[in-house]
Structure 1
C-alpha cells in the first residue's frame, strides 16, 4: 500500500492533537477533541475544516463551457461568470464517477473541484474527452490547499480578514458563487459553498499560504477546528450525499435524484443516451431519507424491510447531534412505493427497529 498523502496543514493538525484517518489517498484529521463539540460549533458559531485533499482542475479555452457540457451531465453554458454549479461526471454506462462543483471565472475559464478519492479518475476522464474541443486542462490538485469556514458566524469572521477594497464584494457574495480577494493579505479564491447545511465559505490558496491562513482563523475567538467526523454528521443532517456511500459507479444520476440536470439538455454528453433512457423508464431505486424516535441508529449496510420484504440498504446513518434522534439515508427499491410517512424496519445487529420515511434535509438552518 502506498504511503498516504499529507495535507500542507498536517503539522498544524498534529499541534492540535488531531486523530487522523485515511480519506481516499490522504491522511486527514478525523477530530481534534470531541466530534460532538465540533459539530455543535458549526451549527452555533463557526467551524474550520482542512479540505486540502479535494481536487482542483482548471479548464481554460474558448470551448471550456462546451467541453464541460459534454464531459458532465449538466449544461454548463448557462452558468454565469462568478457562479458555481453542482453536477456529476458519469461513465459511458451512466455510472457516477464523481459529484463535483464547477466555478466559472470568465467566459473561457472554469475551476472544477472533484472529491479527494476521485480526482485522478476525473482527471483521466477529462483528458479522454477533450477531442474536438479547444481547451487546456491544468491539474493543480497537489499545489492548492482549501480551508472551509462554516457556520452562522462565518461571514462576519471572514469579512474581518478581507482587504478593505473587497469587503463589500465578499459580504454580498451569493450562495454558490465565487470571487477572488485578499484574505489576511493572501490571494484567495473565496467560494460561498459548503457541505454542512450552514452558511459558509471555502477558501482556496496555494500550499505555501495555507499555514498562515489557517493560523489567522485559528486565532479568532469562536472558530473551532473541525475534522471529517463532524463534517460527515453535518452533511448527513443536511441530506447531502457522500460518494462511496450514496453515490457510486453502481448507480446513475437518475437514482441519485439528478435527472433534472439533463432533462432539458439538448447537447450531447457522455452517458447521455443511457441516462435519458433510464430517466424515461424511471429509477429502480432511489436515495430515501429515514428517521426514528428510537435510540438505536442504523449504520451503513443495514437492511431495510417492509414486512418480510427486503426493500433496501442503509448507505449512511447515525444519531443526529442537532435533532437528538437517529437519521439515515438508504437506497430503496422504487417498487416498494414508499411515500413520506411510510413505516419501515431496519435490521440493526439482528433486531429490527422502526423507522419512518421522511424528506431531506433533516436539518435546515433557521428552522
Structure 2
C-alpha cells in the first residue's frame, strides 16, 4: 500500500491486529478483531474509531454565516454558538457535492467536517463559490485528528479522562478547549453509529496518547478498537447515508430521503431551484429499504428488478449483525417504493425475492 495517505495513528494499528485496506487513498483498518465482534461491542458496550482521515475546513470572516448558508441546503442561521448540524452541499443541478457536518462557533467562525474522499473537491468547491463573501477558507485537515468513541458505555469511559461534566454536552453540540488526559481537545456529541457517543478533535501530536489512554480507560467496560467495516454496518442499520452509496453527484438529497435537511424556504442556496422543481414534481427515484425473502446477501451495485425489468441498484447491503437478517438500501424507480412491494435482487446471476420495508432497520439510541 505504498503511496497511500496515513493518519497519525498508522503506526499503532499493528499492535491491535489491524487488517488494512485502501480507502479513498488512505491506508485504513477495515477491522481489528473482526467486523461482527466490533459491531456488537459498539451496540452493547463501546468502540473507539480513528476517523482522522476525515477532512476539516475552517471558515472565518464577517460573512461566514452567509457564505455557509449559500453552500448548504440546511439552515445554519438557527444554530446557537457551539451547535452542530448535518447537511448536504449541492451542485446547481441538485446533485450532492458532499454531505458534511457544520459546527457554528459564532457568526464569524464555522468549522466544517467533510468526507475523506472529497477533501480536495470540497475545498475547491468552497473556494470557487467564495464570490464576494468576506471569508477566509482554510483546509486544516492535516493538522487535526478525530477520534470517535461510541456505544452505551462511551460517556462512562470518556468521563474518567476529563473533569468536564460530559452529561452537560447536548446532542449535536460541542465544547471547545476541553482537557482530555491533560491535552486540549474539542468534544462533540453526534455520532455515525446510532449509539450515544462523542468525537474528540485535537492536534496531530496528541493522537497516539489519546488513543491509548481511551482504550486503557475502557478496558473494564469492554471497549474495542473499531475498523471501517463495522463503521459501515453500524451506520447502515440506522439508515445513515454514505457518500458514494446513498448520495453522489447524481443522487439528490430528496431522492435519498433527506428532505428534512433541505430547507427550501430559506434564502437562496446552491441547488435550490433544481430541488424546488424536483420537490414539486416528485422524485422519479427513491432510496428504499428492503429485506431479502430468498436466501442471499445483497451487495452494493447489484441490480434490483420488478419482474424482469431493472428498476434500480443496491446502494448498500449486508447481513445485519444486530438483526440477523439480509437487508439493504437501494435507489429505485419511485413507482415501486411502497412498503410491502415485492422486488427482486440479482445475486450472482440469480433473481432472489425481496420486499420493500422501512429503512429504519434498527432503533437509534442517541441521548436527546
Smaller-chain TM-score bracket: over 0.9
1:308 deviates by 2.5
1:172 alignment partner in structure 2 = 168
Partner deviation per Cα, 1:309-357 (whole Å, 9 max, x = no partner): 2221101101001100111000011133x31122212111121222121
For the residue of structure 2 that corresponds to 1:219, the secondary structure is helix
Paired with 1:293 and 1:285, the residues of 2 have a C-alpha distance of 23
Alignment TM-score, normalising by the size of structure 2:
0.94
2:317 alignment partner in structure 1 = 317
For the residue of structure 2 that corresponds to 1:130, the secondary structure is coil
Count the aligned residue pairs.
Answer: 362
2:287 alignment partner in structure 1 = 287
For the residue of structure 2 that corresponds to 1:111, the secondary structure is strand
Unmatched 5+ residue regions in structure 1? none
Paired with 2:2 and 2:278, the residues of 1 have a C-alpha distance of 38
Taking only aligned residues, the RMSD between alpha carbons, in angstroms, comes to: 1.7
1:39 deviates by 0.7
| Cα 1:198–1:260 shift into 2, 3 Å | closer
Paired with 1:357 and 1:335, the residues of 2 have a C-alpha distance of 12
| Cα 1:335–1:131 shift into 2, 3 Å | same
For the residue of structure 2 that corresponds to 1:279, the secondary structure is helix
For the residue of structure 1 that corresponds to 2:186, the secondary structure is strand
Structure 1 contact 294–326 (Cα < 8 Å) conserved: no
Alignment TM-score, normalising by the size of structure 1:
0.95
1:263 deviates by 4.2
**Among candidates 185, 188, 213, match of residue 185 of structure 2:** 188
2:350 alignment partner in structure 1 = 351
Matches within 5 A, 1:122-141: 122-141=122-141
1:292 deviates by 2.5
Unmatched 5+ residue regions in structure 2? none
1:362 alignment partner in structure 2 = 361
**Among candidates 198, 205, 212, match of residue 202 of structure 2:** 205
1:360 deviates by 2.4
For the residue of structure 1 that corresponds to 2:262, the secondary structure is helix
Paired with 1:51 and 1:308, the residues of 2 have a C-alpha distance of 42
| Cα 1:215–1:58 shift into 2, 3 Å | same
1:17 alignment partner in structure 2 = 17
Structure 1 contact 75–265 (Cα < 8 Å) conserved: no
2:224 alignment partner in structure 1 = 224
1:35 alignment partner in structure 2 = 35
Paired with 1:63 and 1:2, the residues of 2 have a C-alpha distance of 42
